[in-house]
Chain A
Amino acid sequence: MKRPGRTVLWLQSGGCGGCTMSMMCAENPGLFATLENFGLDFLWHPSLSEESGSEVIDILNDIIAGKRTLDILCFEGSVLRGPNGTGKFHILAGTDRPMLEWLRLIAPLANYVVAVGTCATYGGITAAGNNPTDATGLQYDGRNEGGALGAAFRGRSGLPVINIAGCPTHPNWVSETLMLLSEDALALSDLDTLRRPRFYADHLVHHGCSRNEYYEYKASAESLSEIGCMMENLGCVGTQAHGDCNTRAWNGEGSCTRGGYPCINCTAPEFEEPGRIFTETPKIGGIPIGLPTDMPKAWFIALASLSKAATPSRLRQNATADHIIAPPADRNTNLK
């Protein structure tokens, strides 16, 4: 049974387009099949639609004039407020009107407003450094509510902006959110405190990390390309980062930690300015700053020193190698 049609408008601004490029990696089913089977009709998408130029402007004006119903507005990229609040660092081509204004005109008309990617949700990498363009998220400016649309904003459905954070987003974080919205099946209680869909944000990147055994015994990699745990030395914050990256694979069977580099917490506000080098763990008195989520500090230190003392030789050897040099012993585990 095909669902009744839901219209989707997709706009891009101060970002890299990578969330769209990632979304196009959806598999089994692919993106277009998913959209079709859930009645999701793209009125316009900048990478996928035929319409160009005046045809696009007609669509936008029809929405504003109430001639077309907009069910879902997806916005990818930060909203650029600069220079001086004018938004002119991105004037939408062919319109002489900053994207900031288009967003403020169209968002209130959408049933649901979806911020796709950490730029659109919280400002993201475009807001890094001295934030030259005064980039912000749709409803958050970093950790602070507000952003381009203001804290009080609600879509016609009554929901605030739905924040699919991630840099980039996993293809299915986006497609599953859209599928749920097509059924009006995503409620405020399905969003976490930063308004991320809980179906992926209630997990930690640590869950299912293939380096878990190294973590348990604090057998740490010292340099990139080594296969030990990357928390102690290499800046990995997978124990704090929200996302199901290691239980839901990327591009077949990947994840950042499986690719040999640390989790940088890209689903979080202000991940772009960690106050340290991305690939180094800051320490005080030899103890890494940044505890695993929900873990009392004293217990963590006690457990860490205990597990470090108990590290099997196999893990100690492998942790600083780039492939397994000491395989697990073969044991007969049959209970007799």
Chain B
Amino acid sequence: MSADTRRIIAGPFNRVEGDLEIRLDINGAAVREAYVNSPLFRGFECILEGKDPRDALTIVPRICGICSVSQSMAAAHALAAAEGVTPPPNGERIAAIIHAAENIADHLTHFHIFFMADFARAIYAGEPWYGMAFEQFRAKNGTAVQDAMNARASLLHIMGLLAGKWPHTLSVQPGGATKASDLRDRVRLLAIIRQFKDWIEKSIFAAPVERILAIDSLDALRAYHAEAPQSGSLRLFLTICDALELGSMGPGPKRFMSYGAYPVEGRHLLPSGIWEDGAALPVDTGLITEDLTSAWMNGETAHPFEGRTLPDEAMANGYSWCKAPRMAGQTVEVGAFARMLMSGHPLAATLLHDGAANVRARVVGRLFEIASTVLALEQWAAEIVPGEPAMVHGRLPQSARVEGLTEAARGSLGHWLVVEKGRIASYQIIAPTTWNFSPRDATGTPGPVELALRGAPVRQGEETPVSVQHIVRSFDPCMVCTVH
């Protein structure tokens, strides 16, 4: 570290799920290097070893209180692969509705409670938009914060209706969902979904969702903004994007990945793929490895079917409990924006800056996904056939080697399960934030957030630079999933 470089340890980093510490080497008015530490290790992969594979459905949702259903889905997909079952259409739709409700609720929580509060900080008091940001988004008391909490609670009535409760449901099963819907469930669902749709159209978009989803370029987004800059939270965010240049802040690696999600009758609503240089390539999970160079973990770089979780209790080498997953040796960025690119939405590519995602792209990606998912929710609910089964029953084999892939709100989630003699021999999990918040690998290549923080502006006297907070939270990290 040269003489003109100072070091800041930023943490505890709140308004992210779980605990996060970031070491920043700051040179002049910008971050030179960042090192991301996930400081909490719980050892779920160790806890699962030796158990009956079916117990994973009780244990894995408890990895995470915010993406609990996504964890259930990944386990259910892995077990379904082992059993060789496919849920009946009603079961797929009900599972997709439960999963999508969680993902939407998470996006809502992220935008209103975790992310926007930083623009209500006193440091921005001189900005022309500060009054609105403070009124609507200041932590705990902002009007939009309270509104969003109520809208979220109402949306999650979907869980009470279909999944018993949230978080930590056991309703998502390899063969579908445990509660078959009846006549009234269908219309009650539609009532909840339509009420929520009305709310996002009023509060977030100040426009119909169909109109939002038709925005097909950055210019069209600007035109939407210019129509009524004071109207709707998305427009307030776009005002702030322009003022703080968030459209170029926090560039990640120029590769994106999605595993795809919401399989219904042979088709995933969200497609899988890897995006690089404008081309979408298929995902080959055989090329995934986890590198342990910077992790407090013992063992070698390995594919998750071969990898183990052996914590280095001396914490001798490394700076995080997080392993460093790589796809064909490279970092990838995952999340709603990656999914937007993969889905071919024309706005997505125009939000890239110099080929990379940024704070604006990530947040817009999430809000657009709320809009598109609400339409899907409405369609799935309408298509439920009362009286038809929601679940089939399979038998687990004595041995299996299977993966379960899905998309949590924050990005790609995979479970790799090895069953021997009817018990879990190995259970490896790579969560979205494991990808995005990974430490450096053997080549010294930084993880996506570590890269995105390079060059982040630092104001005079800042202890935890606000730009760092915007960039970190733009990824919506879930630290409890990261290390699990």
Do A53 and B11 touch (CB < 8 A)?
yes
Stretch at the interface among A86-94, A178-186, A187-195, A284-292: A86-94
Complex interface: chain B residues within 8 A of A18 (CB):
62, 64-66, 68, 167-168
For window 244-277 of A, CB contacts with B under 8 Å fall at 249-262, 264, 266, 272, 277
Do B180 and A52 touch (CB < 8 A)?
no
Do B19 and A16 touch (CB < 8 A)?
no
Known: A17-B65, A18-B66, A24-B109. A93 touches B13 (CB 8 A): yes
A238 within 8 A of B: no
Do A278 and B58 touch (CB < 8 A)?
yes
Known: A16-B63, A133-B42. A250 touches B160 (CB 8 A): yes
Complex interface: chain B residues within 8 A of A257 (CB):
164
Stretch at the interface among A41-49, A212-220, A293-301: A41-49
A132 within 8 A of B: yes
A281 within 8 A of B: no
Do B180 and A323 touch (CB < 8 A)?
yes
Interface string of A25-61 (1 = CB under 8 A from B): 1110011110000000010111111111111110000
A157 within 8 A of B: no
Interface string of A216-242 (1 = CB under 8 A from B): 000000011100000000000000000
Q: How long is the Cα–Cα vector from A249 to B164 in the complex, in angstroms?
A: 9
Closest to B182 in A: A323
Complex interface: chain B residues within 8 A of A260 (CB):
164, 171, 177-180
Q: How long is the Cα–Cα vector from A47 to B50 in the complex, in angstroms?
A: 34
Q: How long is the Cα–Cα vector from A277 to B58 in the complex, in angstroms?
A: 10
Complex interface: chain A residues within 8 A of B138 (CB):
50
A317 within 8 A of B: no
In the assembled complex, how far is the CB of residue B214 from the closest CB belonging to chain A, in whole angstroms?
32
Report the contact-size class of chain B (Cβ under 8 Å from the partner).
Answer: 35 or more
Complex interface: chain B residues within 8 A of A125 (CB):
47, 59, 62
Closest to A259 in B: B164
Known: A16-B63, A132-B46, A133-B42. A251 touches B171 (CB 8 A): no
Do B159 and A48 touch (CB < 8 A)?
no
Known: A18-B64, A135-B42. A47 touches B14 (CB 8 A): yes
Interface string of A57-78 (1 = CB under 8 A from B): 1000000000000000000000
A129 within 8 A of B: yes
Do A13 and B168 touch (CB < 8 A)?
no
Do B164 and A32 touch (CB < 8 A)?
no
Closest to A127 in B: B47
A305 within 8 A of B: no
Q: How long is the Cα–Cα vector from A18 to B140 in the complex, in angstroms?
A: 18
Do B13 and A53 touch (CB < 8 A)?
yes
Q: How long is the Cα–Cα vector from A310 to B176 in the complex, in angstroms?
A: 33
Do B65 and A168 touch (CB < 8 A)?
yes
| Chain A residues in the interface with B (C-beta under 8 A) | 12-22, 24-27, 30-33, 42, 44-57, 80, 82-84, 88-95, 125-126, 128-133, 135, 167-168, 223-225, 249-262, 264, 266, 272, 277-279, 322-323
Closest 10 CB pairs of A and B: A259-B164, A18-B65, A93-B11, A254-B160, A94-B11, A260-B178, A251-B160, A53-B464, A252-B157, A132-B43
16 A-B contacts (beta carbon < 8 Å):
A30-B153, A46-B12, A47-B17, A47-B114, A93-B20, A95-B12, A133-B43, A168-B165, A225-B389, A251-B157, A251-B160, A251-B165, A252-B156, A258-B179, A260-B180, A323-B182
| Chain B residues in the interface with A (C-beta under 8 A) | 9-15, 17-21, 37, 39-43, 46-52, 54-55, 57-59, 62-66, 68, 109, 113-114, 117-118, 120-121, 138-141, 145-146, 149-150, 152-154, 156-171, 173, 176-180, 182, 311, 313, 315, 321, 386-387, 389-391, 393, 463-464, 469, 480
